[in-house]
């Protein structure tokens, strides 16, 4: 039943400026990489169709502005997200440190139903570059503390691990969406209940 | 009918009637002649109407005209028209021949005088028989009989003159004057007095004679100077200074040079109303409305500028007066006139509607760039340019105005950022210890 329905997965990529959010997305969707840096203004999205467990889903990948000065535009697109991808640069320690605040900001703005179980995926980008500042171990430790968040080491330039990472992202997003559908099904009468209460109240006032 | 005409006049900052001293109204019969009888329309091309023709063309047209005259009945409208046209064509042919014989004549293209630059004017030779209405020469005030007289018009300011008057032009090009000055005369009719002017016309320098019975001295309401009747035709125009200071949009009589300056600058955003007379916004309701709409449009512009789709559709260029969107304070004289008539507010409303439809309904990306009020967590997407929105000046987050009042205007996002910053400082200090 559900497999016939067209599924749209909304994925948000967050992280400090120049960690490679746009490049990762471009590498994944268009298989292209450019050495030139161009700051993203506000936000934009690309879509890609993927097949997961025989289901065709459309991924709507939102690339965001990491630079503070381009954040005056709003972040309403956080709402209804199915998965959040946090990106840091393995050669720049500051980008790792600010992951916490990116995660918090997302949870506040997106206001998901269950913040603790919301799927995040961490990507350590630019592994083709030397010297490394954040070891894989340190990143994994951080992930463990955050509800066993999956961690991938990628290189948008070489196309390393990008496909695998986004497949995991899609799977997590799909699982989240199914879960939230189940959540509604568990309380099918929820809306009806308030309705009857209202009509009861109306009846009472009429009787008076 | 007359009401309508009046209304039209009010909507334009400038009305220029032909000079009162120059009697040159084309007669009614001539007006009739200008229109081509219906059954001759198919012959239009062969009769060399409204086009620049060579001598050969004219000869051919004359022959064709003769044939047609014989074909048509005596005393028919067509025949009358054809006879007149034949005369006109012969005159043109004559003029043409003379022009070719005189190397200095502007009609002679080989002499290279079809373009002239004099006193900043970019004068261009006008084709003979171009218009039904005859313009007046801005120099000698005489009618330009465009059928037979060679004449020039300035591309920038619309100054018209005879070929013969070109060498003695006094007036500088209004476009050049306006560009150099860059601002309107902001004093209301700043008269310096006849004596100061030494009783000379401010433009051509003719002696102004005080005559009790028949005074020929005219004052320009824009710059307060006195002119002779050749330089001041009693044309009327709305005076910027009077609008700015008194919101007085009645047209006053101005000199021709002022008129041309006001004409070329009518659409230029030269008036910084916020600086010159901020009180006007509180007194004139329409102006206040325009100000509010412009503010809204500026917020909207931010979204359109960075939207890929809006750029592809050239949405922002749909507005014919870009300065209204680009900044807040500058107005053109035409803007103020249209504000008074109510055209501008409705126009701006229209643009706000088109643009907000793109942002709030059509465009997924723009919708995503909206804000969600953190205080009430309502699903409604909020944009900084709507009236009900409160924008934090510090972090640019957007909330409902009413929600912010409940929070005592303390931005929760700023609070969060500050807390995070403090905890980071602490952790650094701990590490140091």
Rounded distance between C-alpha atoms, residue A83 and residue A57, angstroms: 14
Nearest Cα residue to B241 out of B268, B262, B256, B226: B262
Closest residue, chain B, to A42 (C-alpha): B369
* A139 at interface of B, judged by CB pairs closer than 8 A: no
Output B233 or A187, whichever has higher pLDDT.
B233
The string of DSSP letters for B125-161 reads EPPTT--SSPPBPTTT--B--TTTS-EEEETTT--EE
pLDDT in the model for residue B104? 54
**B398/A71 touch (CB, cutoff 8 Å), yes or no:** no
Looking at the predicted structure, is the pLDDT value of residue B1 above 70? Answer: no
Kindly tell me the burial class for residue B283, based on how many C-beta atoms sit within 10 Å of its own C-beta (0-12, 13-18, 19 or more).
Answer: exposed
With 90 as the cut, is the pLDDT of residue B56 above it? no
Closest CA relative to residue B202, chosen from B180, B175, B172: B172
Chain A / chain B CB contacts < 8 angstroms: 57
pLDDT at B74: 80
For the cut 50, the answer to whether the pLDDT of residue B32 exceeds it is no
**Is B406 exposed, middle or buried (CB count within 10 Å of its CB: 0-12, 13-18, 19+)?**
exposed
Instruction: Dump pLDDT digits (tens) for B82-96.
Output: 888 888 888 778 777
Mean pLDDT of chain B: 80
- Is the pLDDT reported for residue B406 higher than 60? yes
Mean pLDDT on A158-181: 87
The pLDDT of residue B15 is above 80: no
pLDDT in tens, A97-119: 989 889 988 998 888 888 888 99
ipTM of predicted assembly, 2 dp:
0.76
Residue A186 has pLDDT above 60, yes or no: no
How close does chain B come to A64, measured CA to CA in Å?
Answer: 10
Are residues A79 and B367, on separate chains, in Cβ contact within 8 Å? no
Average pLDDT over residues B156-163: 86
List CB contacts (< 8 A) between B364 and chain A.
45
Residues B65 and B59: beta-carbon distance below 8 Å = no
Q: What is the pLDDT of residue B396?
A: 83
Token code pair at residue A131 = 């010297």
Which residues touch B285 (CB under 8 Å, ≥6 apart)? none
What are φ and ψ of residue B398, in 5° steps? Answer: -120, 135
User: What is the domain partition of chain A in residue ranges?
Assistant: 2-207
- Given a cut of 70, whether residue B78 has pLDDT beyond it is yes
Question: What's the whole-number mean pLDDT along residues B310-331?
Answer: 85
- The DSSP result for chain A, as a single string, is -GGGS-EEEEEEEE-STTSSHHHHHHHHHH----SS--PPPSEEEEEEEEEETTEEEEEEEEEE--SGGGTTS--GGGTT-SEEEEEEETT-HHHHHTHHHHHHHHHHHH--S-GGG--EEEEEE-TTSSS-SS-HHHHHHHHHHTTS--EEE-BTTTTBSHHHHHHHHHHHHHHHHHHHHHHHHH-TTHHHHHHHHHHHHHHHHHH-
Task: Give the model's confidence band at B102: pLDDT under 50 very low, under 70 low, under 90 confident, else very high.
Answer: low
pLDDT higher than 70, residue B23: no
Distance from C-alpha of B227 to C-alpha of B251, rounded to nearest angstrom: 18
Query: A80 CA to chain B: closest CA distance, Å?
Result: 10
Topology (CATH) of A2-207: Rossmann fold (3.40.50)
Token pair of B39 as six digits: 């059954």
> How far is the C-alpha of B317 from the C-alpha of B311, rounded, in Å?
9
Q: How many residues does chain B have?
A: 433
Mutating which of B369, B395, B398, B414 best tests the A interface, going by the most A Cβ atoms within 10 A?
B369
pLDDT band at residue B4 using 50, 70 and 90 as cut-offs: very low
Q: Do B370 and A109 touch (CB under 8 A)?
A: no
The SS3 assignment for B260 reads: helix
Rounded to 10 deg, the angle between the B333-341 and B2-11 helix axes is 140
Report residue B430's pLDDT band, with 50, 70 and 90 as the boundaries. confident
Q: What integer pLDDT is reported at residue A207 of this predicted model?
A: 46
Cα A96 from Cα A150, distance rounded (Å) = 15
C-alpha separations of A139 from A25, A87, A128, B151 in Å: 21, 11, 17, 83
For range A1-28, the mean pLDDT: 84
Percentage of residues of chain A with pLDDT beyond 90:
44
CB nearest to A43's CB, from B368, B371, B383? B368
- Indicate the pLDDT class of residue A64, thresholds 50, 70 and 90: confident
| Residue B408 pLDDT grade (very low, low, confident, very high; cuts 50, 70, 90) | confident
Give kind and range of the element (H or E) at residue B15. Answer: strand B14-15
Q: How far is CA A105 from CA A100, A108, A109, A120, B112, in A?
A: 9, 5, 6, 13, 72
Q: How confident is residue B242, by pLDDT bands cut at 50, 70 and 90?
A: very high
Q: Which of B368, B384, B395 to mutate to test the interface with A (most CBs of A within 10 A)?
A: B368
Choice between B127 and A207, residue whose per-residue pLDDT is larger: B127
> What CA–CA distance (Å, rounded) separates B362 from B356?
9
Q: What is the band of B244 on the pLDDT scale with cuts at 50, 70, 90? A: very high
Round to whole Å and give the CA distance between A195 and A190: 9
Average pLDDT of the segment spanning B380-409 = 88
Q: Give B137's pLDDT tier (boundaries 50, 70, 90).
A: confident
Provide the pLDDT for residue B28.
Answer: 35
Domain boundaries defined on chain B: 13-101, 174-266, 275-368, 370-433
Residue of B370, B374, B396 lying closest to A108 (CB–CB): B374
Decide if A111 and B377 are in contact by the 8 Å CB cutoff: yes
Average pLDDT for A121-138: 92
Tell me B235's DSSP state: E
Spatial contact of B91 and B148, defined as CB atoms under 8 Å apart: yes
Angstrom CA distances, B97 to A167, A207, B152, stand at: 85, 105, 20
Q: Is the model more confident about B338 or about B379?
A: B338
Q: Of B319, B306, B285, B297, whose CA–CA distance to B386 is shortest?
A: B297
Question: Average pLDDT for residues A45-73, to the nearest whole number?
Answer: 84
Mean pLDDT of B147-154: 79
Average pLDDT value for residue range B309-322: 83
Least confident of A64-68, B128-132, B296-300, B331-335: B128-132
Most confident option among A37-51, A81-95, B309-323? A81-95
Chain B residues with CB-CB distance to A78 below 8 A: 372
If one looks up domain B174-266 in CATH, what number appears?
A: 3.30.40.10
Phi/psi-derived region of residue B145, left when phi > 0, alpha when psi is between -120 and 50, beta in every other case: beta
**Which residue in B306, B369, B379 is closest to A74 by CB distance?**
B369
To the nearest whole percent, how much of chain B has pLDDT over 90? 21
Select from A72, A79, A96 the residue whose CB has the most chain B CBs within 10 Å, as the one to mutate to test that interface: A72
């Amino acid at each position: 039943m559900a497999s016939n329905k067209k599924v749209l997965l909304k994925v948000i990529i967050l992280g400090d400026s120049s960690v490679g959010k746009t490049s990762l997305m471009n590498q994944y969707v268009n298989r292209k990489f450019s050495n030139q840096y161009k700051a993203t203004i506000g936000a934009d999205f690309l879509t890609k169709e993927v097949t997961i467990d025989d289901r065709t889903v459309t991924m709507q990948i939102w690339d965001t502005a990491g630079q503070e000065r381009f954040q005056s535009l709003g972040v309403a697109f956080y709402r209804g997200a199915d998965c959040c991808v946090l990106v840091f640069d393995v050669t720049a320690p500051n980008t790792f440190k600010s992951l916490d605040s990116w995660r918090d900001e997302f949870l506040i703005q997106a206001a998901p139903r269950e913040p603790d179980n919301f799927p995040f995926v961490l990507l350590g980008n630019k592994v083709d570059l030397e010297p490394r500042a954040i070891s894989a171990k340190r990143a994994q430790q951080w992930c463990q503390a955050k509800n066993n968040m999956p961690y991938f080491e990628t290189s948008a330039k070489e196309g390393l691990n990008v496909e695998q990472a986004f497949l995991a992202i899609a799977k997590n997003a799909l699982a989240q969406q199914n879960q939230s559908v189940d959540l509604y099904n568990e309380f099918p009468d929820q809306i009806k209940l308030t309705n009857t209460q209202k009509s009861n109240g109306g009846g009472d006032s009429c009787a008076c | 009918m007359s009401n309508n005409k009046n209304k039209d006049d009010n909507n334009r900052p400038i009305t220029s009637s032909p000079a009162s001293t120059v009697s040159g109204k084309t007669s009614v019969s001539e007006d009739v002649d200008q229109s081509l009888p219906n059954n001759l329309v198919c012959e239009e091309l062969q009769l060399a109407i409204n086009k620049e023709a060579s001598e050969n063309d004219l000869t051919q047209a004359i022959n064709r005209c003769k044939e047609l005259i014989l074909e048509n009945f005596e005393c028919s409208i067509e025949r009358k028209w054809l006879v007149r046209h034949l005369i006109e064509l012969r005159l043109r042919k004559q003029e043409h021949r003379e022009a070719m014989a005189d190397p200095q004549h502007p009609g002679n293209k080989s002499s290279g005088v079809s373009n002239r630059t004099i006193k900043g004017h970019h004068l261009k030779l006008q084709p003979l028989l171009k218009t039904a209405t005859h313009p007046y020469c801005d120099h000698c005030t005489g009618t330009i009989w465009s059928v037979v007289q060679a004449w020039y018009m300035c591309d920038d300011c619309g100054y018209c003159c005879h070929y013969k008057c070109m060498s003695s032009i006094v007036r500088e090009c209004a476009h050049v004057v306006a560009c150099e000055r860059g601002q309107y005369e902001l004093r209301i009719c700043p008269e310096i007095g006849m004596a100061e002017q030494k009783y000379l016309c401010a433009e051509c320098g003719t002696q102004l004679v005080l005559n009790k019975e028949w005074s020929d001295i005219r004052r320009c309401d824009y710059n307060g100077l006195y002119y002779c009747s050749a330089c001041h035709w009693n044309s009327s125009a709305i005076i910027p200074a009077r609008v700015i200071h008194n919101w007085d949009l009645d047209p006053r009589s101005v000199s021709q040079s002022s008129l041309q300056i006001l004409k070329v600058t009518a659409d230029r955003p030269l008036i910084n109303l916020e600086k010159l007379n901020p009180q006007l916004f509180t007194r004139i309701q329409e102006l206040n409305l325009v100000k509010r709409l412009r503010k809204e449009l500026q917020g909207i512009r931010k979204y359109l500028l960075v939207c890929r789709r809006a750029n592809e559709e050239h949405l922002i260029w749909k507005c014919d007066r870009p300065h209204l969107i680009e900044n807040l304070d500058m107005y053109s004289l035409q803007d103020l006139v249209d504000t008074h008539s109510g055209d501008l507010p409705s126009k701006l409303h229209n643009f706000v509607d088109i643009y907000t439809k793109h942002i709030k309904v059509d465009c997924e990306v723009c919708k995503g760039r909206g804000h969600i009020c953190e205080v009430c967590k309502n699903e409604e997407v909020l944009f900084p340019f709507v009236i009900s929105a409160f924008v934090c000046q510090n972090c640019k987050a957007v909330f409902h105005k009413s929600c912010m009042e409940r929070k005592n205007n303390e931005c929760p996002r700023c609070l969060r950022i500050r807390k995070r910053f403090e905890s980071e400082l602490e952790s650094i200090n701990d590490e140091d210890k």
